[in-house]
Amino acid sequence: MRPIAERTGRHCLTLPSNRLGLYLALRHWCTPGQRLLMSPVSADEILFLVLAAGLRPVIAPLSRRDGNIDASRVNLSEVDAVLTTNLYGLPDDVSAYAGKILIEDVAHALETTVGGRPLGTFGQAGVFSLSKHPGAGSGGVLAVADLLDLRALERARDQLLEPGAFRAELVAVAGSMARQAALTLNLVRPALKAMRALGMQEARDGYRIALRRDALDAAMKQVPSLPPFDPWVRADLHDYRARRGALATWYQSRRLAKVPRVRVRERRLAGVRRLAELPTVAQAVRDNLDQPLFRVPLLVRDRDAAIAELERNGVATGYLYDPPYDDYAPGYCDASPDPEPARWWARHVLPVDPLYVSRSLPVLQRLLPA
């Protein structure tokens, strides 16, 4: 995708999903059996991608300021590689991981910079999502510095891709367009009701997909291999490995081109600044008022009640990762040396879309800090 190539100055590989890109990067730069430092708070499928690559997840202590890895409390000599999260667009401390294999998950941080340099350019690979800032429903981009790496990753991608279907692609694009229209026209509440009535939302165990230990143990015997982990990795995006055709490529390019437009960027920044005035906002947001964040994390006392009230006002809340990985999947990872900050964050965080802050502020202004 040209905008990401121009932004990063790197070679870019287009993908049907960010999650496939993360797996390819982990397999390309890491060796099965190596230890990977990662945040305890991130999307379900990320943990399973790490397991599928044959790596041992080492859960880091979490910073209460931003919900990312607390780099000041990490012993890097005990790990071989690091996977950043850049949660909600707030940047990880990338400079702390010099000398380590560094894979940057930039799904939430397409427009975030550190010292004027875009995220996704600090590590061996930056993996972007076209379903977050661009709102394209699916799609990913893997950005790398070396052309030889790009060619090897391209071959590995092609071995994992499954055939696509035009009908499925058409439905996916139409669904994404409908979601964007619902947001624009303030029809989120009826859209949510329709999705739930039609069974279009993935079944969850709280905020996480079901672990299913017996099946997971069977998949673990086949690592490193991605297909055995499809039942977990494909959550909410069942065609995450399906080859995309001309329609999806056109739509993704069109959505991506809108992201850097001045009007959209200024609207997002204005929302960040308004939300930063709330007493519930995460501390790091106030240090990043120049970053057009994907979501603004608030830390509120009764998060579930707040979500219900926001939905009654036509505001949907997503991107919740509770409980932390080491509570969610004990035995499959090395637990954090201090799990309490992550438990607190996961229990109280309320991510808010800064583009639609005017709809949510009447509710948010009444919330008490955690």
Tens digits of residue pLDDT in 79-120? 999 999 999 999 999 999 999 999 999 999 999 999 999 999
Residue 295 · residue 89 · CB < 8 Å: yes
Residue 124 · residue 101 · CB < 8 Å: yes
Of 260, 278, 304, which closes a domain? 260
Burial zone of 43 (CB within 10 Å; 0-12 exposed, 13-18 middle, 19+ buried): buried
CATH number at residue 275: 3.90.1150.10
Q: Are residues 193 and 279 in the same domain?
A: no
Residue appearing with tokens 């202004």? 365
149: tokens are 């790496």
Q: What is residue 193's predicted lDDT score, i.e. its pLDDT?
A: 62
Residue 139 · residue 244 · CB < 8 Å: yes
Q: Are residues 238 and 293 in the same domain?
A: no
For residue 370, is it within any domain?
no
3-state secondary structure of 197: helix
Q: Are residues 124 and 269 in the same domain?
A: no
For residue 170, is it within any domain?
yes
Q: Are residues 142 and 155 in the same domain?
A: yes
Q: Are residues 242 and 289 in the same domain?
A: no
Q: What is residue 281's predicted lDDT score, i.e. its pLDDT?
A: 98
Q: What is residue 134's predicted lDDT score, i.e. its pLDDT?
A: 94
Closest Cα partner for 162 from 95, 240, 87, 260? 240
Residue 162 · residue 203 · CB < 8 Å: no
Residue appearing with tokens 């055995």? 228
Q: Are residues 267 and 345 in the same domain?
A: yes
**Per-residue DSSP letter, 335:** P
List the domain range (segments joined by +) for residue 16.
1-260
Q: Are residues 45 and 67 in the same domain?
A: yes
3-state secondary structure of 313: coil
190: tokens are 């009826």
Phi-psi region of 80 (alpha: psi -120 to 50; beta: other; left: phi over 0): alpha
Q: What is residue 179's predicted lDDT score, i.e. its pLDDT?
A: 82
Q: Assign 3-state DSSP to the chain and report helix, strand, coil percentages, each to 5.
A: 45, 15, 40
Q: What is residue 41's predicted lDDT score, i.e. its pLDDT?
A: 98
CB within 8 A of 2, min separation 6: which ones? 253
**Pairing mode, strands 56-59 and 35-38:** parallel
Q: Are residues 13 and 103 in the same domain?
A: yes
Q: Are residues 215 and 314 in the same domain?
A: no
Q: Are residues 97 and 184 in the same domain?
A: yes
Closest Cα partner for 150 from 8, 313, 311? 8
Residue 49 · residue 20 · CB < 8 Å: no
Q: What is residue 188's predicted lDDT score, i.e. its pLDDT?
A: 66
Q: Please state whether the peptide bond connecting residue 91 to the residue before it is cis, i.e. omega within 30 degrees of 0.
A: no
191: tokens are 């859209």
Q: Are residues 232 and 357 in the same domain?
A: no
Q: What is residue 266's predicted lDDT score, i.e. its pLDDT?
A: 97
Phi-psi region of 320 (alpha: psi -120 to 50; beta: other; left: phi over 0): beta
How many Å apart are CA 107 and CA 227, to the nearest integer?
A: 22
For residue 369, is it within any domain?
no
Give the burial string for 76-107 (b: 16+ CB within 10 Å, else e). eeebbbbbbbbbbbbbbbbeebeebbbbbbbb
Low-confidence ranges of the chain (pLDDT < 70): 188-201
What's the number of domains the chain is made of?
2
Of 227, 260, 293, which closes a domain? 260
Q: How many CB atoms neighbour CB 166 within 10 A?
A: 11
For residue 16, is it within any domain?
yes
The count of C-alpha atoms lying within 13 angstroms of the C-alpha of 54, restricted to the half-sphere facing its C-beta, is 14
Q: What is residue 90's predicted lDDT score, i.e. its pLDDT?
A: 98
How many Å apart are CA 316 and CA 66, to the nearest integer?
A: 22
Of 260, 281, 312, which closes a domain? 260
Q: What is residue 203's predicted lDDT score, i.e. its pLDDT?
A: 74
φ/ψ of residue 162, rounded to 5: -110, 155
Q: Are residues 196 and 294 in the same domain?
A: no
Q: What is residue 194's predicted lDDT score, i.e. its pLDDT?
A: 58
Q: What is residue 288's predicted lDDT score, i.e. its pLDDT?
A: 98
